[in-house]
Copies of this chain bind each other. A is one copy, B any other.
């Protein structure tokens, strides 16, 4: 298996040639959602980025095991006003059950990812399902001397770790700077140092999610699950770890420290991070009122958006920026993307009906090579898409007879567009804008053309019969100057 793929490794701050540890196998881990709320544009960008990477690596011929976790260990508490006695007296069925909340949002997340036409990961492990594995890692870190127990909680000792390792190597920070930027402990904390982070927390009485452990009834610290689950399913060393840039520090920094401390070796060869999304130039945030969920985009139900945006439009909008570039949402930008997507899908569909000629007047091999190079250059989807749009002009030229293409080149052209548009980018016709149209729309357009031909031939009987037949199917025709418009009732 050879490839010319280069990926930007956050760890080295360089584009590096991609060489998997155990070819043809590739281990890919990406941080998944916390399932206590609906997915928003940021979730979509992260999931789409690593879905395209997964698809692309498979396209290159690798056997990829793609692991994306579900963070379901949450911090729901029983209503404090009720008092502990009352909570204990309640039947289990009457009480808030975090797993019911988790199931609800996990199902919704899956639906959203399906709407975006993302592939299902090979394994989708849940933090709550790996408490034993997390406890075992804590044990190892304690045994290695990089953690300490206080009152039933266990903390990672960052200062001690930094004596022999570099805490901050991923994010490029120095412990001295981190320390001087950190508030000093107020005496209430159990931690020895403000930089220390929890591996295990003793649950206070109101905390609902809890498991028994050697230290206390409690729950694992958030950073721990990714170390434990990536190791379980991909091994102590694996190829790629992905996530949003917001997870780089402290989450991924802590993951590296946990793996080094517990297993004595660095875990990840290539760290990859996608950039964030802003809304009209502003950071997204619940408090800013610009927190738009995917469902709100798909239904058009938010003050900041002008209308319904189908999932494929959102996806194409995201792919038109490089994953490491910031991306700003605006209605104008999204509507522009949507139009572009339609053009690309239409042209891709039209390749099937092109007829070959004796020679090619268009440089198909150059186009293929440009597309391949774009993806090999750190998965540069906007450049790929720009090249595909160059090809769209030629496809239109071929349809209109302004260009010719040889039989061999036509096969290549078709395979290029099918591979990149459908397989690698994962764009679909059926989920394309104008829901309810698609093939039905094409058929209606075809019928309207036949009716228009009949009128030209002054065959009004046929024209009227077509109108009546469409009406009986619930399709209304409105004749206009420039042709007929229609809608399904």
CB contact under 8 A between A126 and B123, given known A91-B22, A93-B25, A233-B99 = no
- Output the residue of A121, A122, A238, A473 with the most chain B CB within 10 A: A473
**Is the C-beta of A310 less than 8 angstroms from some C-beta in chain B?**
no
Q: Do residues A122 and B93 form an inter-chain contact, with CB atoms below 8 A?
A: no
Q: Do residues A234 and B440 form an inter-chain contact, with CB atoms below 8 A?
A: no
Chain-B contact segment, one of A6-14, A420-428, A445-453 = A445-453
Tell me, in angstroms, the Cα distance from A53 to B439 when the chains sit together: 38
**Is the C-beta of A488 less than 8 angstroms from some C-beta in chain B?**
yes
The answer, among B94, B132, B238, B473, for a CB contact under 8 Å with A93, is: B238
CB contact under 8 A between A132 and B132, given known A25-B91, A447-B446 = yes
Q: Do residues A488 and B132 form an inter-chain contact, with CB atoms below 8 A?
A: no
The answer, among B22, B27, B93, for a CB contact under 8 Å with A234, is: B93
Residues of B within 8 A of A470 (CB): 446
Count, chain A residues at interface, CB 8 A: 57
**Is the C-beta of A129 less than 8 angstroms from some C-beta in chain B?**
yes
CB contact under 8 A between A25 and B469, given known A122-B100, A126-B129 = no
Residues of B within 8 A of A107 (CB): 120
Q: Do residues B94 and A25 form an inter-chain contact, with CB atoms below 8 A?
A: yes
Tell me, in angstroms, the Cα distance from A488 to B440 when the chains sit together: 12
Tell me, in angstroms, the Cα distance from A459 to B439 when the chains sit together: 26
CB contact under 8 A between A123 and B97, given known A440-B439, A443-B440 = yes
A339 CB to closest chain B CB (Å) equals: 22
Q: Do residues A136 and B212 form an inter-chain contact, with CB atoms below 8 A?
A: yes
Tell me, in angstroms, the Cα distance from A123 to B453 when the chains sit together: 55
Tell me the nearest residue of chain B to A235, going by C-beta: B92
Residues of B within 8 A of A27 (CB): 92-93
**Is the C-beta of A65 less than 8 angstroms from some C-beta in chain B?**
yes
CB contacts under 8 Å to B, within A33-76, are: 65
Q: Do residues B100 and A472 form an inter-chain contact, with CB atoms below 8 A?
A: no
Tell me the nearest residue of chain B to A446, going by C-beta: B469
**Is the C-beta of A466 less than 8 angstroms from some C-beta in chain B?**
yes
**Is the C-beta of A144 less than 8 angstroms from some C-beta in chain B?**
no
Residues of B within 8 A of A22 (CB): 91, 93-94
Tell me, in angstroms, the Cα distance from A453 to B435 when the chains sit together: 32
**Is the C-beta of A411 less than 8 angstroms from some C-beta in chain B?**
no
Tell me the nearest residue of chain B to A25, going by C-beta: B93
Tell me, in angstroms, the Cα distance from A122 to B102 when the chains sit together: 9
Residues of B within 8 A of A446 (CB): 447, 466, 469-470, 473
Q: Do residues B65 and A132 form an inter-chain contact, with CB atoms below 8 A?
A: no
Q: Do residues A439 and B473 form an inter-chain contact, with CB atoms below 8 A?
A: yes
A240 CB to closest chain B CB (Å) equals: 11
Q: Do residues A450 and B473 form an inter-chain contact, with CB atoms below 8 A?
A: no
Residues of B within 8 A of A125 (CB): 99
**Is the C-beta of A128 less than 8 angstroms from some C-beta in chain B?**
yes
**Is the C-beta of A247 less than 8 angstroms from some C-beta in chain B?**
no
Residues of B within 8 A of A360 (CB): none
**Is the C-beta of A186 less than 8 angstroms from some C-beta in chain B?**
no
The answer, among B97, B122, B233, B440, for a CB contact under 8 Å with A440, is: B440
A291 CB to closest chain B CB (Å) equals: 25
Q: Do residues A97 and B65 form an inter-chain contact, with CB atoms below 8 A?
A: yes
**Is the C-beta of A352 less than 8 angstroms from some C-beta in chain B?**
yes
**Is the C-beta of A321 less than 8 angstroms from some C-beta in chain B?**
no
Residues of B within 8 A of A442 (CB): 473
Tell me, in angstroms, the Cα distance from A444 to B473 when the chains sit together: 12
Tell me, in angstroms, the Cα distance from A91 to B22 when the chains sit together: 8
CB contacts under 8 Å to B, within A206-253, are: 211-212, 233-236, 238
A289 CB to closest chain B CB (Å) equals: 31
Tell me, in angstroms, the Cα distance from A87 to B35 when the chains sit together: 36
**Is the C-beta of A415 less than 8 angstroms from some C-beta in chain B?**
no
16 CB contacts below 8 A, A to B, read: A22-B93, A93-B238, A97-B123, A99-B233, A103-B124, A126-B129, A128-B129, A350-B472, A352-B472, A353-B471, A353-B472, A439-B440, A439-B474, A446-B469, A446-B473, A450-B462
The 3 closest A-B pairs by CB, nearest first: A129-B129, A92-B235, A353-B472
Other A-B contacts than A99-B123, A103-B121, 14 sampled, CB-CB below 8 A, are A25-B93, A92-B234, A92-B235, A93-B238, A107-B120, A132-B132, A132-B211, A132-B212, A350-B472, A353-B468, A443-B444, A446-B469, A446-B470, A446-B473
